[in-house]
A and B are shown apart, each in its own frame.
Chain A
């Protein structure tokens, strides 16, 4: 995790956050399991097959989808292809640099990808043009514009919002017609960090810097776990992981009801 220019969170700030936590509150008055305000603007880039600009508190990300005809993977000849990439733009944070993907962006992209893939949100079998020869390839590109914590959840939210509004350009192949990207389930990822002995949901940047360890749990409507990732140095007990799974499932339900009806 990158730190601010100074590289350290001031001791006063740390004490303040810890004191608040003892009262069951966060630095910004949120409850431990409270998400920041979410704003979702779909079709932000009409030139793409689907897009969504998401603000999660002050974190801002933009996901754009491009869908092109291409070759299937040899081991899945009768399935479309999904690829996910995250760009940490240098404008988003003082220590972000232009260049090839680094460990941080690869981890985010792969955790987001696993949630989408394992929830079977996209009906990849429905994206075959000619079995074994030609399929639709769904390119998911996420640009991180402003980093104030919890990129994994912000990216997942932007991708699912963009995919739900995506159109496959069927008319670009002979005799074809454009059609809506076939989507089914709705995976929601919830990331938490451990500060002291508490798990706090949707951490902002300061909380991420104070947290000793991180856990992401992605669930679907049926409450099933589809993807998990423990990140950063530090450890979690089994009870803490189970608590994180319950929190993720509850919060996922609330987010689905509030933003995806």
Chain B
């Protein structure tokens, strides 16, 4: 985790530096169909995060030797814009983004019915335009909506949230200061209906009891976030019906 700091992140009344209580999410907004040529796309605003996701495919896997004769491959590419963070980030993939792309691809592959598309690949491009802590989870949550919007068959929606430890207390959905100066970070994503965990990473210092408390907060929050995902998808079809008018 980040550096030690004397900055107080939670006050005597349990209010966090951005005014939230410990189990409170930042505002989340999801919109579908934001990229013209993509098979499916979504835009998510989660606190200060602004992330666009576009899905292309299923389409023939290329280069050919990468084809899997049994199933499609989900290839997520998580990328941060150079201007998305305080200090300019050198464009292009780095070690962090490659690891994140890998775990996101694996999480989505668990949900997508990959066995229906042998030899295919499904590209999921995740572009972080502005980063404000929790980008991998916000990107994954939006990617799940974009896949559904693309009509890719899935067993379930993938939905995620982060919890962590700040000033010795377990809190939900870390903001940037909490991410930088907290003592633990636990990003997690699950299948919305079954609660099975498809992505989990952790770094910092947690006891078993603290882990329990953190996952309790996450599980509860994912229900609310899943509602927002479903609403975004429902919105897409509502506008479709409207635009067809009296047909």
Please report A residues at the B interface, Cβ cutoff 8 Å. 75-76, 79, 101, 103, 106-107, 109-110, 114, 117-118, 215, 223-238, 241-242, 245-246, 249
**Distance in Å from the Cβ of B238 to the closest Cβ of chain A?**
32
Provided the pairs A101-B95, A235-B191, A241-B197 are in contact, do residues A118 and B3 lie with their beta carbons within 8 angstroms? no
Q: Give complex CA distance A242, B194 in Å.
A: 17
Provided the pairs A110-B95, A242-B208 are in contact, do residues A228 and B109 lie with their beta carbons within 8 angstroms? no
A contact residues around B196 at 8 Å (CB): 235-237
Chain A residue with the shortest CB-CB distance to B4? A125
The 8 A CB mask of B172-197 against A (1 = contact, 0 = none) is 00000000000000100011001111
Q: Give complex CA distance A236, B191 in Å.
A: 10
Cross-chain contact B200 with A241 (CB below 8 angstroms): yes
A contact residues around B199 at 8 Å (CB): 230
**Distance in Å from the Cβ of B68 to the closest Cβ of chain A?**
10
A sample of 27 cross-chain residue pairs with beta-carbon separation below 8 angstroms, ordered by A number, consists of A75-B3, A101-B95, A103-B98, A103-B101, A106-B99, A110-B95, A117-B203, A118-B205, A224-B205, A225-B208, A225-B211, A230-B103, A230-B200, A231-B106, A232-B106, A233-B106, A233-B109, A235-B110, A235-B196, A235-B198, A237-B197, A238-B197, A238-B219, A241-B197, A241-B215, A242-B212, A249-B208
Q: Does B21 contact A (CB under 8 A)?
A: no
Q: Does B206 contact A (CB under 8 A)?
A: yes
A contact residues around B110 at 8 Å (CB): 233-235
Q: Does B202 contact A (CB under 8 A)?
A: yes
Interface of A is mostly: mixed
Interface of B is mostly: mixed
Of the listed residues A76, A79, A106, the one surrounded by the most CB atoms of chain B closer than 10 A to its CB is A106
Q: Give complex CA distance A35, B146 in Å.
A: 42
Cross-chain contact B200 with A228 (CB below 8 angstroms): yes
Please report B residues at the A interface, Cβ cutoff 8 Å. 1, 3, 95-96, 98-99, 101-103, 106, 109-110, 186, 190-191, 194-208, 211-212, 215, 219
Q: Give complex CA distance A234, B200 in Å.
A: 12
Q: Give complex CA distance A2, B188 in Å.
A: 26
A contact residues around B195 at 8 Å (CB): 237-238
**Distance in Å from the Cβ of B105 to the closest Cβ of chain A?**
9
Q: Give complex CA distance A110, B206 in Å.
A: 19
Cross-chain contact B204 with A226 (CB below 8 angstroms): yes
Provided the pairs A103-B102, A106-B98, A106-B99 are in contact, do residues A226 and B198 lie with their beta carbons within 8 angstroms? no
B contact residues around A249 at 8 Å (CB): 208
A contact residues around B202 at 8 Å (CB): 225, 227-229
A contact residues around B103 at 8 Å (CB): 229-231
Cross-chain contact B99 with A110 (CB below 8 angstroms): yes
**Distance in Å from the Cβ of A111 to the closest Cβ of chain B?**
9
Partner of B207, one of A103, A224, A230, A232: A224
Provided the pairs A106-B98, A107-B102 are in contact, do residues A229 and B1 lie with their beta carbons within 8 angstroms? no
Q: Give complex CA distance A107, B35 in Å.
A: 31
